[in-house]
């Protein structure tokens, strides 16, 4: 038997929350499933959290999201005698009156005291849940306290403020103990304070907070800390942490590493290594779009990889289908010139007209399309307007010379 929970639960907690970068999340998940089926309420509780998405568990584990299954598991966990599940149910709105009657505890306070005992002995998940009790005001229901418990509203307000502030200590203890989600809640507490309790934000405490999680080996917080360092201009340090995060399974950070090498920020410029990084991040649910775009651009321009317009178009088109407009100019140029895809002026115009940034070549191509009527009725005036926006782009100047305005203000071919 583990110190706080069963051996299965304690190992699963290490794999899923405390040492997630080791990549054993799925093994931990299976342990919880087996222990839950065998009647372990704490296993059922933590398994439920694993099904609730990125707010409650690291997406790098690849767990499925199923809120209905999570709710069923939480109810099961309470009936199986998990005090931890009582607090989770309370927090998630699953502690209905009927559920409260089914729990094998005399009161919510009894369950709270059990979790508090483990928190005081150093169990990080329990410390996190105690922090949540104070952070979200669940202590009012647990302690059965209300306005009638005090001589006046000021007494209630003072009681609330005193208890809400306790969340800081418990979140910090849990965070330093290895439970990275406690760091997220602590960061939000510092950032927002608690308006209803008139607790002001403490932005000075936000600075550097994610360093705790980064140094603790948590890939998500290594990314957050890297972003903070980058914003401070400490690009070499930022790159180090982006690499740590990426190598620990936070695959979206391969995009950030690739960008650093592509631009030579915090390191020597290296297009070939940048391309390798983008390849490693292609399948990430968050960084994958950027990797598709950036790798596509490298193939289009032949930087770090052999120029391959077909691969470039495929990658950039994949990003576009994921609702990214970053590569519109490349896609438009590919269709206009027939690079890596059949020449198609209609498709080229569809891409190019969505570009919302200054690009002289884009203006030239649109001017060419409209002035010559390529896949669209000829409109020399509109075409010339685009050509003039292209300013000193050489082909645009040359194309502009083909047209003149008559005495009656009509644009015609010279």
What is the percentage of the chain residues whose pLDDT exceeds 70? 100
Beta carbons of 194 and 163 less than 8 angstroms apart: no
**pTM of the predicted protein model:** 0.91
Cα 244 from Cα 215, distance rounded (Å): 10
Tens of pLDDT, residue by residue over 329-347, are 999 999 999 999 999 999 9
Cα 140 from Cα 50, distance rounded (Å): 27
Q: Is the pLDDT of residue 92 over 90?
A: no
Please tell me the predicted confidence (pLDDT) of residue 409. Answer: 85
- Please give the span between the terminal C-alpha atoms of the chain, in angstroms, as a whole number: 91
Beta carbons of 56 and 71 less than 8 angstroms apart: no
Domain that holds residue 202: 7-210
Please tell me the predicted confidence (pLDDT) of residue 1. Answer: 67
Cα 299 from Cα 153, distance rounded (Å): 67
Residue 147 lies in a domain: yes
Please tell me the predicted confidence (pLDDT) of residue 96. Answer: 87
State mean pLDDT over 39-60. 95
Beta carbons of 341 and 323 less than 8 angstroms apart: no
Burial 196-219 (b: 16+ CB within 10 A, else e): eeebeeeeeebeebbbbbbebbbb
State mean pLDDT over 66-87. 96
Tens of pLDDT, residue by residue over 304-333, are 999 999 999 999 999 999 999 999 999 999
Confidence bin at 286 (pLDDT 50/70/90): confident
Please tell me the predicted confidence (pLDDT) of residue 407. Answer: 84
Residue 221 lies in a domain: no
Burial 228-251 (b: 16+ CB within 10 A, else e): bbbeeeebebbbbbbbbbbbbbbb
Cα 380 from Cα 372, distance rounded (Å): 7
Residue 227 lies in a domain: no
Beta carbons of 111 and 81 less than 8 angstroms apart: no
Please tell me the predicted confidence (pLDDT) of residue 249. Answer: 95
What is the percentage of the chain residues whose pLDDT exceeds 90? 93
State mean pLDDT over 99-118. 95
State mean pLDDT over 214-228. 97
Residue 23 lies in a domain: yes
**How many CB atoms are located within 10 Å of the residue 265 CB?**
15
Total domains, the chain: 1
Confidence bin at 151 (pLDDT 50/70/90): very high
Residue 138 lies in a domain: yes
Torsion, Cα 153 158 159 163, to 10 degrees, reads 140
For 164, half-sphere exposure in the C-beta direction (CA atoms, 13 angstrom radius) is 18
Candidates 373, 366, 375, 374; CA nearest to 396 is 366
State mean pLDDT over 95-120. 94
Residue 398 lies in a domain: no
Q: Is the pLDDT of residue 364 over 70?
A: yes
Which range has the top average pLDDT, 53-57, 193-197, 274-278, 403-407? 274-278
């Amino acid at each position: 038997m583990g110190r706080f929970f069963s051996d299965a639960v304690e190992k699963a907690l290490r794999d899923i929350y405390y040492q997630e970068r080791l990549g054993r999340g799925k093994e931990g998940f299976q342990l919880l499933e087996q222990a839950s089926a065998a009647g372990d309420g704490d296993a059922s509780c933590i398994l439920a959290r694993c099904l609730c998405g990125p707010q409650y568990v690291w997406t790098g584990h690849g767990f499925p999201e199923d809120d209905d299954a999570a709710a069923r598991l939480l109810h099961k966990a309470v009936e199986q005698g998990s005090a931890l599940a009582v607090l989770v149910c309370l927090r998630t709105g699953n502690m209905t009156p009927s559920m409260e009657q089914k729990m094998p505890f005399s009161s919510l306070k009894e369950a709270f005291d059990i979790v508090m005992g483990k928190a005081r002995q150093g169990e990080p998940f329990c410390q996190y849940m105690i922090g949540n009790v104070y952070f979200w005001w669940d202590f009012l229901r647990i302690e059965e306290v209300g306005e009638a418990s005090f001589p006046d509203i000021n007494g209630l307000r003072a009681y609330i403020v005193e208890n809400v502030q306790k969340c800081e200590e418990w979140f910090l203890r849990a965070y330093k103990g290895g439970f990275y989600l406690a760091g997220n809640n602590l960061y939000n507490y510092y950032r927002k304070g608690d308006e209803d309790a008139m607790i002001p934000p403490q932005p000075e405490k936000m600075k550097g907070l994610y360093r705790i999680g980064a140094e603790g080996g948590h890939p998500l917080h290594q990314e957050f800390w890297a972003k903070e360092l980058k914003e401070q201009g400490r690009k070499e340090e930022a790159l180090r942490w982006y690499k740590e995060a990426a190598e620990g399974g936070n695959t979206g950070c391969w995009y950030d590493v690739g960008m650093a090498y592509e631009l030579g920020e915090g390191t020597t410029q290296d297009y070939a290594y940048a391309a390798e990084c983008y390849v490693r991040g292609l399948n990430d649910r968050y960084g994958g779009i950027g990797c598709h775009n950036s790798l596509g651009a490298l193939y289009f321009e032949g930087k770090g990889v052999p120029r391959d317009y077909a691969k470039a178009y495929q990658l950039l088109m994949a990003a576009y289908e994921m609702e990214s407009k970053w590569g519109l100019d490349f896609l438009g140029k590919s269709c206009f010139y027939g690079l890596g895809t059949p020449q198609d002026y209609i498709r080229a115009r569809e891409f190019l007209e969505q570009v919302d940034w200054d690009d002289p070549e884009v203006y030239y191509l649109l001017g060419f399309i409209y002035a010559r009527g390529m896949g669209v009725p000829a409109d020399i005036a509109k075409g010339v307007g685009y050509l003039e926006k292209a300013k000193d782009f050489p082909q645009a100047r040359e194309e502009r010379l083909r047209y003149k305005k008559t005495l009656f203000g009509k644009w015609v071919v010279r």
